Amino acid sequence: MPAQSKKLAILFADISGSTALYEKLGDVSARQLIARCLGIMKGALNTYQGTLVKTIGDEILCTFPSAEAAMNAACEMQNAVKTDNLSSKNPLYIRIGFNYGDVLCEEGDIYGDAVNVAARVTEITRANQIMTTVAVVNVLPLAVQDKIRKILRADLKGKQEQQDIFQVMWELEDMGSTRIGMSAYRKPQAEGHELTLTYRAQTFKINLQNLQLQLGRDDNCQLVIKNDFVSRQHADIVLRSGNFILSDHSSNGTYVRTADNMLRLNREDTTLRGKGFISLGQPYADNTTDLLEFSITSNN
């Protein structure tokens, strides 16, 4: 059959941390868990007219007839995996990236620039996140665009200019608290609400102009920490509904110390308040050279 060109949404869904899972549980048990998770992700395809193109190890590639269908399927995948984790001793986390555009369909596979961009977006997506592109946002109905937040501008391999990257707010509690066109239901994020993060001689700001900061050993992270205890994509801090949320995605955990509290995150989230210190991968007392100091200011 000759190749056909179609406009489709292209979605990659990837299980994060699967290599470490094989090391922890062994090949048989890890493979069973991964197969179960892949099955949960595939379960969202029929509801939204999705087509499974192929499974690539611990990742699926699929297409949808519209950007809205892909977004809804991605949210269902994340929520289904989150629900399954409630009864699992070894919870799994997925990351999803998707794009919309012209796709060349040939012999059961898909090709083209839109596919490549979807893959690149997935590469910079973290566990528990759904990321997408301006091509998707441009064709989404206005009624669902309130679930989208512009997060950053990123360098994507093969693209000369930086690309706008958007995050889909997929969690049921986030989506349930959003009412389209009714700002009274949303906690305002006031100008001047800002988190300052200092690492050695570097200073980073998280505010309405820069909603997210990614931390890790990988060179693609915005704040790069070259330490063997730090994972490649270790954690991120996101300004969401007026709160600064620190999310750990690492193997060794993230430690947070304030004047009256100290906690360790292990694939968990916490809301940062006031000021304090963050240590990636090591307890606070064992990490005197790579501490991150944060402080939050507000004009409210």
DSSP string covering 248-297: E--SS-EEEEETTEEEEESS-EEEE-SEEEEEESS-GGG-SSS-EEEEEE
Measured between alpha carbons, how far is 62 from 54 in angstroms, rounded to an integer?
7
Hey, CA dihedral for 124, 130, 135, 137, is it positive or negative? negative
Domain boundary residue, one of 123, 149, 176: 176
What angle (nearest 5°) sits at the alpha carbon of residue 207, between those of residues 204 and 209?
Answer: 100
Q: Are residues 85 and 18 in the same domain?
A: yes
Tell me whether residue 242 is in a domain: yes
Measured between alpha carbons, how far is 55 from 61 in angstroms, rounded to an integer?
6
Tell me whether residue 26 is in a domain: yes
Measured between alpha carbons, how far is 91 from 82 in angstroms, rounded to an integer?
8
Q: Are residues 114 and 237 in the same domain?
A: no
143-191 tens-digit pLDDT? 888 788 887 776 776 776 777 889 998 875 444 433 333 333 334 444 5
Q: Are residues 123 and 224 in the same domain?
A: no
Contact 165, 154 (CB under 8 A): yes
Tell me whether residue 78 is in a domain: yes
pLDDT at residue 181, rounded to an integer: 31
pLDDT at residue 172, rounded to an integer: 54
Domain boundary residue, one of 122, 146, 176: 176
Count of domains forming the chain? 2
User: What CATH number should be reported for the domain holding residue 158?
Assistant: 3.30.70.1230
Q: Are residues 265 and 126 in the same domain?
A: no
Range of the domain at 249: 194-297
Q: Are residues 172 and 202 in the same domain?
A: no
pLDDT at residue 78, rounded to an integer: 94
Q: Are residues 30 and 58 in the same domain?
A: yes
Q: Are residues 108 and 217 in the same domain?
A: no
Tell me whether residue 221 is in a domain: yes
Tell me whether residue 187 is in a domain: no
pLDDT at residue 35, rounded to an integer: 93
Mean confidence (pLDDT) of the chain: 86
Predicted TM-score (pTM) above 0.75: no
Structure tokens of 74? 């991605």
Q: Are residues 98 and 128 in the same domain?
A: yes
Tell me whether residue 184 is in a domain: no
Q: Are residues 163 and 58 in the same domain?
A: yes
